[in-house]
């Protein structure tokens, strides 16, 4: 009987008195598991320890945060819901308030913040036909920013060729398109286009338009936008001054993520003016080689209904490029 009482007293003392850290099997397991680089084994060990000894949750959580402070969010996520209100961390903050802080949404970065934009640069060669028939160097830049209600798209591409001591091609195409989704799939847009082409019927041309659009297809791997509205166009003719005209603009933008490594894009534009109508289309396939590096094959054409005598109505550019994502 006396031996039984001693045994019960010893058991009670063991429950009420924490074991020394160096002898505590739960703490020892945490210390051993933290050496694994991926951290998954450490988190699994902590989860098992919390379920095995829920009365020691505060002690184990504090120890885990000391061993792996870089995994604070993952560690706190393992606390049982009923334990969250009562756990106090080593710095005096409650686990409840710390979890709320860690899970709070980050403020949206400013418009010009670099981390708010995704982008790519491309370098390759072009085969040009129309008003210039030759091979050229091709450079490109694309930037995209997507937020809850806004989309911003900027694209720039240039073709340059030089024969002996004479420049034979110098063309820059740039456009900026901003969309505000005020409805479910409907949006208002603003568009600015710029073209510089010293070997065509004009030296430079700018177009501005506003209007409305609708996302006809919105799937995980596919999107298709149709948009249109009024605008104005200024054209610096090679043989005369600046020509100003009112235009109507219609555009189709189709994107298809065919596989994890292959994408197809097609952008069609119609600029309907009183002096001339311009139709263009830019289609391309992009194949990923690595996470950052891709290859792209694209075909661009532009058709103007009214050009000076001796000029071609149709210009094309077939481009093969290496693309770097950032």
Same domain membership, residue 279 and residue 163: yes
Same domain membership, residue 308 and residue 188: yes
Q: What is the DSSP letter of 94?
A: B
227, part of any domain: yes
pLDDT for residue 106 is more than 80: no
| Enclosing domain of residue 73 | 2-103
Q: pLDDT by residue (tens digit) across 26-57?
A: 888 888 888 776 778 899 999 999 999 999 99
- Rounded to whole angstroms, how far apart are CA atoms 234 and 224? 29
Same domain membership, residue 73 and residue 163: no
Q: What is the pLDDT of residue 37?
A: 62
261, part of any domain: yes
11, part of any domain: yes
Which is more confident, 13 or 173?
Answer: 173
- Which residues are bridge partners to 122 per DSSP? 140, 323
Q: What is the pLDDT of residue 201?
A: 67
Same domain membership, residue 128 and residue 99: no
CB–CB of 72/103 below 8 Å? no
- Rounded to whole angstroms, how far apart are CA atoms 43 and 81? 17
- Rounded to whole angstroms, how far apart are CA atoms 224 and 243? 33
157, part of any domain: yes
The domain total for the chain is 2
- Rounded to whole angstroms, how far apart are CA atoms 252 and 269? 7
Same domain membership, residue 181 and residue 313: yes
108, part of any domain: no
Structural domain ending residue among the three candidates 52, 73, 103: 103
- Tracing tokens 């491309």 back to the chain, one arrives at 122
Same domain membership, residue 65 and residue 25: yes
Q: Between the CA atoms of 241, 245, 249 and 255, what dihedral angle is there, to the nearest 10 degrees?
A: 10
Q: pLDDT by residue (tens digit) across 179-217?
A: 999 888 999 999 999 999 876 667 889 999 999 999 999
- Which residues are bridge partners to 262 per DSSP? 287
Q: What is the pLDDT of residue 12?
A: 41
28, part of any domain: yes
The CA–CA distances, whole Å, from 236 to 194, 196, 205, 228, 239 equal 12, 10, 6, 24, 9
Give me the chain's average pLDDT, please: 87
Write out the two tokens for 287.
């194949």
Same domain membership, residue 150 and residue 82: no
pLDDT for residue 7 is more than 70: no
Q: Give the model's confidence band at 154: pLDDT under 50 very low, under 70 low, under 90 confident, else very high.
A: very high
Give the H or E element holding residue 308: none
Structural domain ending residue among the three candidates 103, 136, 158: 103
pLDDT for residue 239 is more than 80: no
302, part of any domain: yes
Same domain membership, residue 273 and residue 124: yes
Q: What is the pLDDT of residue 80?
A: 92
Outline where 77-198 has alpha helix (H).
95-103
Structural domain ending residue among the three candidates 49, 75, 103: 103
Same domain membership, residue 139 and residue 84: no
pLDDT for residue 268 is more than 70: yes
Q: What is the pLDDT of residue 21?
A: 45
Same domain membership, residue 134 and residue 79: no
Query: Exposed (0-12), middle (13-18) or buried (19+): which is 281, by Cβ within 10 Å?
Result: middle
Work out whether strand 222-237 and strand 202-218 pair parallel, antiparallel, or are unpaired: antiparallel
- Global pTM exceeds 0.85: no
112, part of any domain: no
Q: Give the model's confidence band at 79: pLDDT under 50 very low, under 70 low, under 90 confident, else very high.
A: very high
Domain CATH number, residue 144: 2.40.160.40
Same domain membership, residue 151 and residue 79: no
């Amino acid at each position: 009987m006396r031996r039984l009482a001693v045994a019960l007293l010893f058991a009670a003392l063991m429950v009420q008195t924490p074991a020394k850290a160096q002898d505590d099997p739960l703490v020892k397991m945490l210390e051993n598991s933290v050496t694994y680089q991926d951290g998954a084994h450490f988190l699994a060990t902590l989860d098992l320890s919390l379920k095995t000894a829920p009365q020691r949750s505060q002690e184990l959580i504090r120890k885990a945060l000391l061993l792996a402070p870089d995994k604070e969010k993952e560690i706190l996520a393992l606390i049982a819901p009923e334990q969250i209100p009562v756990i106090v961390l080593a710095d005096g903050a409650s686990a409840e308030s710390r979890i709320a802080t860690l899970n709070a949404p980050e403020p949206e970065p400013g418009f010009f913040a670099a981390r708010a934009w995704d982008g790519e640069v491309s370098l390759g060669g072009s085969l040009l036909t129309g008003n210039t028939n030759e091979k050229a160097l091709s450079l490109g830049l694309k930037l995209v920013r997507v937020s809850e209600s806004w989309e911003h798209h900027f694209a720039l591409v240039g073709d340059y060729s030089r024969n002996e001591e004479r420049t034979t091609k110098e063309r820059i195409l740039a456009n900026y398109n901003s969309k505000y989704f005020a409805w479910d799939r409907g949006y208002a847009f603003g568009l600015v286009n710029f073209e510089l082409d010293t070997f065509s019927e004009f030296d430079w041309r700018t177009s501005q338009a506003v209007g409305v659009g609708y996302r006809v297809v919105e799937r995980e791997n596919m999107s298709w936008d149709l948009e249109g509205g009024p605008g104005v166009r200024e054209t610096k003719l090679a043989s005369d001054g600046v020509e100003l005209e009112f235009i109507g603009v219609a555009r189709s933008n189709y994107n298809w993520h065919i596989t994890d490594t292959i994408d197809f894009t097609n952008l069609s534009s119609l600029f309907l003016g009183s002096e001339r109508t311009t139709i263009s289309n830019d289609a391309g396939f992009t194949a990923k080689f690595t996470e950052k590096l891709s290859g792209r094959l694209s075909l661009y054409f532009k058709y103007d209904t009214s050009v000076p005598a001796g000029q071609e109505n149709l210009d094309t550019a077939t481009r093969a490029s290496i693309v770097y994502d950032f």
